[in-house]
């Protein structure tokens, strides 16, 4: 009877450790553009949108630039079409990794000004 509790406890501990490791690998840290250039992992970079960008229909890629809070600027290449609310965005969060001379984004999170803020605020 006691060995069943020990085996059950070991199974629970094993699954807890496995869940913790799996959760940690899904976390994507926010970094600066400079840190993203040095990292070889998938990261999140937040920056102010510069310009409207351009879409390459042939390759299905969207190109634009962002500037982070340190003043660093990087070109972002996004796998997909321009998001519908991109023109209203004040900031963009790009999830991906730095490759060669650009940040290759797999996901974009568009930060639009809140419709609940006062005008002129």
What are the pLDDT digits (tens) for 2-61? 888 888 888 899 888 888 777 766 667 888 989 989 988 889 999 998 988 899 888 889
CATH of the domain at 88: 2.40.50.140
pTM strictly above 0.85? no
Question: How far, in Å, CA of 79 to CA of 20, rounded?
Answer: 30
Domain annotation covers residue 64: yes
The range of the structural domain enclosing residue 48 comes to 30-111
Question: Who's near 105: CB < 8 A, 6+ residues apart?
Answer: 76, 77, 78, 79, 94, 95, 96
Q: Which two structure tokens, joined as six digits, stand for 30?
A: 């926010």
Question: How far, in Å, CA of 38 to CA of 51, rounded?
Answer: 25
Confidence of residue 106 (pLDDT cuts 50, 70, 90): very high
The domain total for the chain is 1
């Amino acid at each position: 009877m006691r060995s069943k509790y020990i085996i059950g406890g070991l199974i629970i501990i094993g699954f807890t450790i496995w869940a913790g490791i799996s959760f940690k690998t899904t976390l994507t840290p926010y970094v600066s553009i400079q840190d993203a250039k040095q990292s070889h992992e998938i990261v999140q970079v937040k920056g102010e949108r510069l310009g409207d960008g351009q879409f390459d229909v042939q390759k299905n890629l969207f190109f634009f630039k962002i500037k982070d809070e340190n003043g660093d600027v990087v070109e972002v290449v996004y796998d997909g079409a321009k998001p519908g609310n991109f023109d209203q965005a004040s900031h963009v969060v790009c999830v991906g990794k730095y490759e060669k001379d650009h940040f290759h984004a797999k996901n974009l999170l568009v930060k639009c000004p809140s419709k609940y803020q006062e005008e002129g605020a």
